[in-house]
Structures are given as C-alpha cells and as structure tokens.
C-alpha cells in the first residue's frame, strides 16, 4: 500500500562503542552503539527491545552495516483490537507504531537480523484494518540496500521499498501472518528476493502502482529459491487471499527460479493479477505451484507457463511442509519467536 493513508557485508562481534559518525542520524528512545569496522566503514549495533518507539536511521555513509540480530521491534497499526465499519483502525486508545524501523538515505546499507513482532489484527476485515504500516520501511535514497535474515510476523506490510530504493537485495528473511503484502515494491523498483520464506501472507510481492504514474516495465525483479504461501484472511466479507505477485501492465519483468507459490484458498482473488504475473515472467524454471485445498482448481485460474510443476491436495501440502521444514533447518541464524512452529 502507499505511504498516504489510503491510496553486513561484514558482521563481527560487538567491539567498543564509539560516538556516531558526524553527519549520520539515528533516532529513537534508546541509545545505539556504533563500532568502527577496521577502516572499511561503519557498523551500527541495535539490541534490546524497542517497544513502540520508532527507530529511524538516516544519512549513513555508503555501505554501512546494521546488526540488529539482538533487537526486537513492535509494529502496530490499529488503535483498537477489532476494527470494524464503525470503529476503524484509526479509532481507539491502543498505542500504535506503524513503521518501527525506517531507513532513509542510507545507500548500500546492509541490515541484518532483527525480530519484528506485530500486533496488527488478524481477524478483522482487511478493509477496516487498513491503516497503512510496514515492519521495515526503506526509502529516500537508500539505493542498493541488502536486507538479510529478518524475522517478522503479524505485520500489515512486511518489508516495503519506496522511492529511490532501487537495486534492493532481500535474502534469507522469514515473514509470516502478513495481513497485506509480504514485500511491497509499488514504486516498481528492480531487485532480488532470494532464499526467503513467506509463510502466510495475503499478498506475496506487490508490483502494482495503482493509480500512480509509474512505469517499471524495463526493470527486473528476480524471485529465486523462495517459498511463498498465501494465507486467507477476511477481506471485504470473504475469507480469501490475493495472488503471490500483484502485477500490472507496467510492473517490472519477472525472473522466477527454483521457487514455490502455494495457494491456500479456493476462493482466492487476483486472477487478473496472476495472469499479468505469468505475462511479465520472462524466465521460469525449477518452480512449483501448489494448490493446497482439497477443492478442485477453478477453471478460470490462470495456470503458469512452462517452468512450474503443479501439485494439488495432499501432494501439495506434503511438498510445502517438507520445503518449509528444510528452509527453517537450513537457516538456524534467523531469529525465532518462542512460539514459532518449527
């Protein structure tokens, strides 16, 4: 969703804490330690619980590494626990923190680790829960960002790339129970999503500028060795989900390799967007499309081009469960929550 209401490379152990480099800024209620990185740049260490305090990091030297592996952030978009048509998500007394981590003008930043625990309502209707929010927001000149090993759950959007965040590289991240987009790239930026687990999201990767005058048809988004399972939520009166990629005619071209798209609801929406996804895909190989329900595949569902194996029912569920377990076992350094199902 849009920013308006509606519409390391080297990671070492922590060293002696030094003052922030002149010209950079880190804003929050908590202190942040910065270590020199043997003359090769700056390393910022985030640790502890940040609660509802937004952490904004801006104007860092190029190629700065941010180690957030011991940090816990809270994302909350609703002022009440059960927004509805009368009491929307912007009404109530609950604390909110719609953008707990914001990176601004940090070219070449390498953000590693961090847990983002969400309080976004999961049972209310999507339309009434739509108070804009993202667990991690990358914007304003943060070109070529690398985001690695983030664990986030129960967010509105998981990770959002906006204006001047081109050339992004998202790798080894685990996102789950995402009420809207696991990754939002509605500025139609080129980038790579590699070796990620999106284990339950209303929409996987959004490449839809809506009514904005943007054109990314010459850009390329690569999805490689990633698992994307759609999760059905209440949306406009139905239990449903969108497509794994929300594409339009002006979306970037797609390269989809060695990845898994899993559909959970026989009432899924976004058939037109799914059709555009296949149209924008110029390279596909080694992929699997999983139809998890026991219901038959609707005849109007746009089937993928060559490069996808199609599995249904028990075979699809077994495939997903095995792939998910293998991913989690292969990523022991990605932070867990104590109640994560492993």
- Residue 18, domain member (yes or no): no
Q: Quote the tokens at residue 5.
A: 């209401």
CA distance 86 to 73: 30
- Residue 17, domain member (yes or no): no
For 271, the domain range is 25-329
The residue count for the chain: 342
| Residue 33 confidence (pLDDT) | 39
Q: What is the pLDDT of residues 267-300, one digit of tens each?
A: 999 999 999 999 999 999 999 999 999 999 999 9
Neighbour tally for 342: CB within 10 Å = 7
Assign 88 a pLDDT band (cuts: 50, 70, 90): very high
The verdict on pTM exceeding 0.75 is yes
Indicate if the pLDDT at residue 5 is higher than 70.
no
Q: Quote the tokens at residue 47.
A: 């640790």
Assign 42 a pLDDT band (cuts: 50, 70, 90): confident
CA distance 40 to 36: 8
Rounded (5°) CA angle 199-203-209: 145
Indicate if the pLDDT at residue 263 is higher than 60.
yes
Q: What is the pLDDT of residues 293-318, one digit of tens each?
A: 999 999 999 999 999 999 999 999 99
Indicate if the pLDDT at residue 15 is higher than 50.
no
Q: How far is CA 305 from the centre of its chain?
A: 25
- Residue 2, domain member (yes or no): no
What average pLDDT does the chain have? 90
- Residue 339, domain member (yes or no): no
- As a whole number, mean pLDDT of residues 172-190 equals 98
Assign 261 a pLDDT band (cuts: 50, 70, 90): very high
| Residue 41 confidence (pLDDT) | 53
- As a whole number, mean pLDDT of residues 100-116 equals 98
| Residue 211 confidence (pLDDT) | 80
- Residue 163, domain member (yes or no): yes
Residue among 204, 166, 157 at smallest CA distance from 188:
166
| Residue 212 confidence (pLDDT) | 86
- As a whole number, mean pLDDT of residues 175-181 equals 98
| Residue 125 confidence (pLDDT) | 98
What percentage of the chain carries pLDDT values higher than 90? 86
Q: How far is CA 117 from the centre of its chain?
A: 13
Q: What is the pLDDT of residues 221-238, one digit of tens each?
A: 999 999 999 999 999 999
- Residue 119, domain member (yes or no): yes
Indicate if the pLDDT at residue 245 is higher than 60.
yes
- Residue 11, domain member (yes or no): no
In the block, tokens 């020199």 appear at 36
- Residue 19, domain member (yes or no): no
Number of compact structural domains in the chain: 1
What percentage of the chain carries pLDDT values higher than 70? 88
How far CA 99 is from CA of 75, 117, 267, 274, in Å, comes to 7, 12, 31, 29
Assign 38 a pLDDT band (cuts: 50, 70, 90): very low
Q: What is the pLDDT of residues 143-171, one digit of tens each?
A: 999 999 999 999 999 999 998 999 999 99
CA distance 324 to 227: 8
- As a whole number, mean pLDDT of residues 123-129 equals 98
The better pLDDT of the pair 310, 4 is held by 310
Indicate if the pLDDT at residue 17 is higher than 80.
no
| Residue 210 confidence (pLDDT) | 86
Q: How far is CA 119 from the centre of its chain?
A: 16
The better pLDDT of the pair 179, 9 is held by 179
């Amino acid at each position: 969703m849009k920013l308006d209401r509606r519409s390391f490379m080297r990671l070492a152990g922590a060293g002696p804490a030094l003052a922030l480099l002149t010209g950079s800024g880190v804003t929050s209620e908590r202190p942040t330690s910065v270590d020199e990185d043997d003359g090769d740049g700056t390393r910022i260490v985030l640790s502890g619980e940040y609660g509802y305090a937004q952490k904004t990091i801006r104007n860092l030297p190029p190629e700065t590494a941010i180690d957030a592996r011991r940090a816990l952030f809270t994302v909350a978009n609703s002022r009440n626990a059960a927004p509805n048509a009368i009491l929307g998500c912007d009404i109530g007394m609950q604390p909110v923190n719609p953008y707990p981590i914001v990176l601004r003008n940090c070219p070449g930043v390498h953000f590693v680790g961090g847990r983002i625990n969400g309080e976004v309502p999961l049972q209310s209707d999507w339309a009434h829960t739509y108070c804009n929010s993202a667990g991690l927001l990358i914007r304003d000149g943060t070109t070529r960002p690398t985001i690695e090993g983030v664990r986030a759950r129960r967010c509105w959007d998981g990770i959002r790339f906006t204006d001047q965040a081109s050339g992004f590289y998202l790798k080894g991240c685990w996102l789950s129970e995402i009420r809207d987009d696991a990754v939002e790239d509605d500025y139609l930026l080129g980038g790579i999503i590699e070796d990620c687990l999106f284990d339950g999201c209303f929409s996987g990767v959004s490449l839809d500028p809506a009514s904005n005058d943007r054109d990314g048809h010459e850009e390329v988004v690569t999805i490689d060795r990633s698992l994307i399972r759609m999760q059905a939520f209440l949306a406009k009166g139905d239990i449903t989900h969108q497509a794994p990629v929300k594409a339009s005619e002006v979306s970037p071209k797609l390269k989809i390799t060695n990845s898994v798209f899993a559909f959970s609801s026989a009432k899924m929406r976004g058939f037109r967007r799914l059709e555009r996804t296949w149209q924008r895909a110029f390279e596909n190989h080694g992929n699997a499309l999983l139809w998890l329900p026991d219901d038959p595949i609707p005849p109007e569902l746009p089937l993928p081009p060559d490069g996808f194996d199609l599995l249904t029912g028990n075979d699809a569920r077994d495939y997903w469960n095995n792939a998910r377990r293998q991913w989690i076992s292969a990523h022991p350094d990605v932070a867990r929550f104590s109640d994560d199902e492993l």
